[in-house]
């Protein structure tokens, strides 16, 4: 059994003259949290739709747990749980009926369905919502049911497409607590797209896509070391002396923030000027900085 639960090689997909996905290759290891980042129109949704068997690629291969999506679609779909950016639940039905109809597609009914429903309503805290129609739920409540729907079949891979967009902090925290527990207890693999960099920062591996092409990939630490540099925030310092250092800096509230190429450069600067660096902190650049450095865009750009 290979360590890679998803393997994509030389994937292409076009819509007429629009090249949505251009020769992308990457793999996802079993049990990891994998982040796939890009602005809207970058090729993320096209890739996910191909992974889910909703769209056929023009060329290239997609293997999920060793099976080819082009030939073993039905078998593969049983191993996937998907939380789409836009809910696919029936707003007119109750929570119970929505989940019951979905479970039937997996052959889950009767006592087996009830047992799974009991597990999920406790895990996601929606016992009091079962007999409410979806149309009467808040955005956060509806998201819980989207996730329950995706987890009904105990999938090996959970695909989360912008799962927390528009959610309140409490619901976001609850969602990630559930995901973390499922990864730990069941070894679930999570494939994530998100605009929230603090979520992507916790990923085991990150792939950045822009205009249909992969432009960078690696662990969050590797990406930050390669593209973001370090910051030294210096408190109670003489700005004239900081200016004389000849490094870029900016004033932030009651401090000065210096931009350095890497930790080594920051360390050498501090050791060379101990009288100046008395009250300071070093922080690495964030994935936002990486994305901007690699693509020239901010991830929040959604057009």
Calpha distance 177→110 (Å, rounded):
29
Spans of the chain, pLDDT less than 70: 1-2, 300-303
Q: In whole angstroms, what is the distance from residue 38 CA to residue 51 CA?
A: 17
pLDDT digits (tens, 9 = 90+) for 213-265: 999 999 999 999 899 889 999 999 999 999 999 999 999 988 999 999 888 99
CA angle, residues 79, 83, 85, in degrees to nearest 5: 145
pLDDT score of 98: 96
**Number of Cα atoms under 13 Å in the Cβ half of residue 66:** 3
**What's the pLDDT score for residue 285?**
87
Say how many CA atoms lie within 13 Å of 51 toward its Cβ: 32
**What digits encode the pLDDT tens for the residues 104-129?**
988 999 999 999 999 999 999 999 99
- Under 8 Å between Cβ of 126 and 95: yes
pTM summary value:
0.87
Residue in 95, 102, 292, 274 with CA at minimum distance from that of residue 210: 292
Encode pLDDT of 272-282 as tens digits: 999 999 999 99
């Amino acid at each position: 059994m290979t360590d890679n639960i998803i393997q994509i090689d030389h994937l292409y997909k076009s819509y007429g003259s629009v090249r949505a996905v251009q020769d992308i290759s990457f793999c996802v290891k079993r049990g990891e949290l994998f982040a796939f980042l890009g602005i809207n129109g970058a090729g993320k949704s096209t890739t996910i739709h191909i992974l889910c068997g909703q769209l056929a690629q023009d060329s290239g291969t997609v293997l999920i747990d060793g099976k080819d999506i082009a030939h073993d679609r039905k078998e593969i779909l049983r191993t996937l749980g998907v939380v789409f950016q836009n809910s696919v639940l029936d707003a007119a039905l109750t929570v119970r009926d929505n989940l019951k109809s979905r479970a039937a597609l997996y052959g889950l009914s009767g006592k087996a369905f009830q047992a799974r429903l009991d597990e999920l309503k406790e895990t996601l805290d929606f016992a009091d919502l079962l007999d409410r129609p979806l149309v009467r739920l808040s955005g956060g409540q509806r998201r819980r049911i989207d996730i329950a729907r995706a987890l009904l079949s105990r999938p090996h891979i959970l695909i989360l497409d912008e799962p927390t967009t528009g959610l309140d902090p409490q619901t976001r925290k609850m969602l990630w607590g559930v995901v973390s527990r499922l990864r730990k207890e069941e070894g679930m693999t999570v494939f994530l797209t998100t605009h929230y960099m603090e979520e992507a920062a916790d990923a085991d591996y990150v792939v950045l896509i822009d205009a249909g092409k992969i432009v960078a990939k690696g662990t969050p630490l590797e990406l930050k070391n390669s593209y973001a540099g370090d910051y030294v925030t210096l408190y109670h310092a003489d700005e004239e002396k900081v200016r004389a250092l000849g490094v870029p800096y900016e004033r932030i509230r009651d401090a000065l923030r210096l931009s350095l190429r890497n930790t080594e450069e920051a360390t050498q600067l501090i050791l060379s000027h101990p009288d100046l660096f008395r009250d300071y902190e070093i922080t690495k650049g964030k994935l936002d900085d990486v994305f901007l450095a690699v693509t020239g865009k901010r991830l929040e750009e959604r057009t």
